[in-house]
């Protein structure tokens, strides 16, 4: 069996793994990665589908372990290429992806499974195991094949007192461990944190206390798929006689789905429409919002900027009830500062226990290694530091060091005769979604955007006579974002003209591009030396 991770290794997000046997492909998860500040203008980052692009007819199924965006967000972009790839997942997971696909006008072929179920997908037999996570209905998948067995956990933790009573099924883990796990792919996100992840139950009383003490409106920001957290907010609001309004399109959509399927219990007469919030006293309102990661266009960020219909003011309480995804720190703290400058009291993980992780810490991972006794381990889902920490846990539990595979996106792993080894590497780069364009933005163009944002822009327009070598017009220099008036460039204009004239007189065969490069070098070195800047320079030479 060949295993190729196309995302999720060395990053938090973009989770996607391809399993290959006898010419058939099984995919586990297909998620997105959210952009960081050095990727301006980018909406989403997808896995690179190039490896399977020409083999989509060989895909026997796409197993979705749970309904978070970093595991299902890229499914619409894969199904644009082949709409009838079977999607396999739990009831809630499939409901969430179906709603997303409806927006893309794709009707998927789905197969609903539940814990304990077994499905034959081509040469792969998949058995599904209940795992606990920060969203209901998460599943691990145990893959049997003639080439060996693989257990893929998806995201999980071992909360012993979950709100929905659905624990990670360690008895089921033990059964597949007795059968034999040749390769274990385990969630690495919290592998560097000792001990055990705090139970979700401990968050409810903190949220209740904050709401009980709030003098005006309470705004709670969380992931739009964190149904357990929304349930805790609804219960606390009901206990203190407050109405709740959902804010943000994805929050409204996901909570509607969760209610219809029975995963969310909404107290009677507690929900109100956002448009009617102003009809209630401030101390009687809770707003459940998106934007906990500082996303610029999400509801909470717009509130912090003062351009949302919900105007945050003095005495309001804002609770950031979610984890801080690595890379989002700057955006989140910008939102916190914006809200506090408006007079709000902001409660977040640094000053109150308003969030617990959805991922297994080191103690929990050691439990699974000792229960499963896998022959080989390949840590997944995490940055490099997380993968390394998970690998060390595997070694501590008795997995031979040479059987612990610390891979990266695009690593090619072969499982043969009970032994897994890295045998190669394929290209598995970032694919950027920018508005309606997918994959058209390159790293070079992102570098240009960063340069424009950080250093500014200078255009130089010159009209020359090729025959005489004379400058007919210009150089006209215009700068934007350089923090200097255009007058500052008076000193360099004669040098540009001189360089162009010398070039034309010395060699009549100079191309227009070569002349433009002469202009770029001349003004570029001067700006760097005199102004200590490296702006984007666009030289235009017009010949007559």
Q: Report the binding-site residues.
A: 41, 43, 66, 68, 70-71, 133, 155, 224-226, 355-359, 381, 434
Coil, helix or strand at residue 143: strand
Find the catalytic residue in 192, 348, 359, 386: 359
What does DSSP assign to residue 358?
Answer: S
Asked whether the beta carbons of 244 and 211 are under 8 A apart, the reply is: no
Asked whether the beta carbons of 27 and 17 are under 8 A apart, the reply is: yes
278 labelled catalytic: no
Asked whether the beta carbons of 522 and 445 are under 8 A apart, the reply is: no
Tokens of 41: 């203008």
Preceding amide of 475 cis, omega within 30: yes
**Beta-strand relationship, 24-28 and 16-21:** antiparallel
The Cα 275–Cα 252 span in angstroms is: 13
Q: Which of 32, 101, 25 is nearest to 62 (CA)?
A: 25
Q: Which of 161, 211, 157, 164 is nearest to 186 (CA)?
A: 157
Which residues are CB-contacts of 490 (< 8 A; sequence separation ≥ 6)? none
- Can you say which residues are annotated as belonging to the binding site for Ca(2+)? 41, 43, 434
Alpha-carbon distances, residue 17 vs 26, 174, 304, 452 (angstroms) = 8, 24, 38, 36
152 labelled catalytic: no
What does DSSP assign to residue 198?
Answer: P
Asked whether the beta carbons of 34 and 45 are under 8 A apart, the reply is: yes
Coil, helix or strand at residue 491: helix
Which residues are CB-contacts of 377 (< 8 A; sequence separation ≥ 6)? 183, 184, 186, 369, 390, 391, 394, 399, 403, 404, 405
Find the catalytic residue in 187, 316, 345, 409: 187
- Can you say which residues are annotated as belonging to the binding site for Zn(2+)? 66, 68, 70-71, 133, 155, 381
Q: Which helix (H) or strand (E) holds 434?
A: strand 431-434
Task: Provide the annotated active-site residues.
Answer: 187, 359
């Amino acid at each position: 069996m060949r295993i190729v991770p196309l995302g999720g290794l060395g990053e938090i997000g973009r989770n996607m793994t391809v399993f290959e046997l006898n010419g058939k492909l099984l995919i586990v998860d297909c998620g997105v990665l959210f952009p960081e500040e050095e990727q301006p203008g980018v909406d989403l980052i997808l896995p690179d589908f190039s490896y399977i692009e020409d083999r989509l007819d060989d895909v026997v199924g796409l197993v979705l372990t749970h309904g978070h965006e970093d595991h299902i967000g890229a499914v619409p972009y894969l199904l644009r290429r082949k709409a009838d790839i079977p999607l396999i997942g739990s009831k809630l997971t499939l409901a969430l992806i179906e709603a997303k696909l409806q927006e893309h006008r794709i009707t998927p072929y789905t197969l609903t499974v539940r814990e304990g179920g077994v499905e034959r997908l081509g040469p792969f037999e998949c058995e599904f195991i209940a795992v606990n996570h920060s969203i209901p209905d998460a599943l691990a998948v145990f893959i049997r094949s003639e080439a060996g067995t693989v257990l893929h956990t998806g995201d999980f933790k071992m909360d012993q007192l979950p709100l929905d009573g659905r624990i990670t099924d360690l008895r089921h883990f033990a059964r597949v461990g007795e059968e034999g796990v040749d390769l274990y792919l385990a969630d690495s996100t919290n592998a560097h944190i000792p001990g055990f992840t705090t139970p979700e139950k401990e968050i409810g009383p903190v949220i209740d206390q904050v709401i009980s003490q709030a003098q005006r409106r309470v705004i709670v920001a969380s992931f739009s798929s964190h149904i357990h957290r929304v349930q805790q907010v609804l219960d606390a609001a009901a206990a203190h006689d407050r109405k709740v309004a959902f804010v943000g399109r994805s929050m409204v959509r996901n909570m509607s789905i969760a209610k219809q399927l029975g995963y969310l219990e909404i107290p009677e007469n507690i929900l109100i429409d956002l448009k009617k919030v102003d009809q209630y006293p401030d101390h009687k309102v809770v707003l459940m919002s998106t934007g906990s990661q500082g996303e610029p266009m999400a509801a909470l960020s717009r509130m912090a900027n003062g351009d949302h219909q919900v105007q945050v003011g003095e005495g309001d309480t804002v609770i950031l009830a979610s984890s801080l995804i690595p890379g989002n720190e700057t955006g989140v703290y910008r939102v916190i500062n914006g809200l506090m400058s408006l007079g709000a009291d902001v409660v977040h993980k640094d000053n109150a226990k308003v969030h617990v992780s959805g991922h297994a810490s080191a103690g929990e991972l050691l439990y699974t290694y000792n229960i499963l006794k896998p022959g080989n381990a390949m840590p997944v889902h995490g940055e490099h530091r997380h993968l390394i920490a998970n690998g060390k846990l595997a070694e501590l539990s008795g997995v031979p060091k040479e059987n612990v595979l610390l891979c990266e996106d695009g690593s090619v792993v072969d499982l043969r005769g009970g032994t897994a080894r890295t045998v190669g590497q394929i290209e598995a780069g970032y694919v950027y979604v920018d508005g309606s364009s997918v994959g058209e933005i390159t790293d070079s163009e992102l570098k240009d955007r960063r340069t424009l944002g950080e250093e500014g822009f200078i255009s130089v327009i010159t009209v020359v006579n090729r025959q005489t070598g004379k400058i007919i017009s210009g150089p006209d220099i215009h700068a934007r974002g350089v923090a200097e008036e255009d007058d500052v460039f008076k000193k360099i204009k004669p040098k540009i003209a001189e360089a162009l004239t010398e070039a034309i007189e010395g060699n009549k065969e100079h191309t227009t591009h070569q002349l433009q490069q002469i202009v770029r070098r001349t003004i570029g070195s001067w700006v760097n030396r005199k102004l200590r800047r490296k702006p984007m320079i666009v030289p235009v030479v017009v010949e007559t």
